[in-house]
Amino acid sequence: YGPVYQMRYNRVWLVDQSDIENHISQFDSPGYVVPENLASYPGNGRSEFGESHLLLPFVDANDNGIYEPELGDHPKIRGDRCVTWVVNDASNGAEGRPQIETILQAYLYTEGPEELLQTLFVNAQLRNRSDRDYTDFSLGVFVDADVNWEMKNRIGCDPYSNYAYTYSPYDFNPDSWISDYGIPSNVATF
């Protein structure tokens, strides 16, 4: 988890479904250059450094387990627009951390009903990258889910379906924040 790790993984990969469709139709065309977001995508980790061989999700066109975008492989995304990144709690060098690798995808849809178009989805996959076995493991997630002013938000969850949500039934209007909550006008400027 040194400088090379930071240079390789301290970023996000934004991929649109249209990027993938274009890549699939063009990857074997003369002169085609794989876009940077697909070329640098770490489908495979560096196993010689203890990283997962299959690091980030990808479609393996020739089913050989190696991410090769020049042969038609591409990131496996959710939704129509997806940001993917990987973090590991041991990457800051602190001793005694659990060494849990987390693959995150935040994604949205660009077509469909209005409710779908106004929703941001987040998926997390956790992997134990240590040599320890964990039992009775629990995970907490902090989300500052301000959609509107805190007094106008609605939040909830359905643990049986494995999702949480937040929304505001009120229109976003910074002017009402000023009158409703006495916020100085210079605080509510955007």
pTM of the model: 0.72
Contacts of 155 (CB under 8 A, 6+ apart): 145, 164, 165, 166
Structure tokens at 106: 């935040």
Full pLDDT tens readout for the chain, 190 residues: 667 777 778 889 999 999 999 999 999 999 999 999 999 999 998 888 777 888 899 999 999 999 999 999 999 999 999 999 988 776 665 667 777 888 999 999 999 998 888 888 889 888 887 788 888 777 776 766 666 666 667 778 888 887 777 777 766 555 554 445 444 444 433 3
The pLDDT value recorded for residue 165 is 77
Closest alpha carbon to 14 in 127, 117, 143, 104: 104
The pLDDT value recorded for residue 105 is 93
What DSSP string runs through 142-157? -----SS-GGG-EEEE
